Structure 1
Amino acid sequence: TVNLMGAGCLKDAANSIQSQGFKKGLIVTDKILNQIGVVKQVQDLLTERGVATVVFDGTQPNPTITNVNDGLALLKENECDFVISLGGGSPHDCAKGIALVAS
Structure 2
Amino acid sequence: MPSTFYIPAINLMGAGCLSEAVVNIKASGFKSALIVTDEVLNKIGIVGKVETMLADAGVSAVVYDQTKPNPTITNVNEGLALLKQANCDCVISLGGGSPHDCAKGIALLAANGGEIKDYEGVDQSEKPQLPLIAINTTAGTASEMTRFCIITDEARYIKMAIVDKNCNPITIGK
Distance 1:64 1:4 in 2: 28
Distance 1:96 1:3 in 2: 17
For the aligned residues, what is the CA RMSD? 1.2
Give secondary structure in 1 for the equivalent of 2:78. Answer: helix
TM-score by length of 1: 0.95
Once the two structures are superposed, what CA deviation does each residue of 1:19-67 show, in whole Å capped at 9, x if it has no partner? 0111000000000000000001101111111110000001001001110
TM-score by length of 2: 0.57
Give secondary structure in 2 for the equivalent of 1:86. Answer: strand
2:30 is matched with 22
* Structure 2 unmatched runs, 5+: 1-7, 112-174
Distance 2:13 2:100 in 1: 14
Task: Trace 1:38-77 onto structure 2 (pairs within 5 A).
Answer: 38-77=46-85
* Structure 1 unmatched runs, 5+: none
2:100 is matched with 92
Once the two structures are superposed, what CA deviation does each residue of 1:79-99 show, in whole Å capped at 9, x if it has no partner? 000000000110010011100
Structure number with greater CO (CA < 8 Å, separation at least 6) is 1
Of Structure 1 and Structure 2, the greater strand share is in 2
Of Structure 1 and Structure 2, the greater helix share is in 1
Distance 1:58 1:24 in 2: 19
* Aligned residue identity for 2:55: T
Distance 1:97 1:44 in 2: 25
Percent identity between matched residues is 65
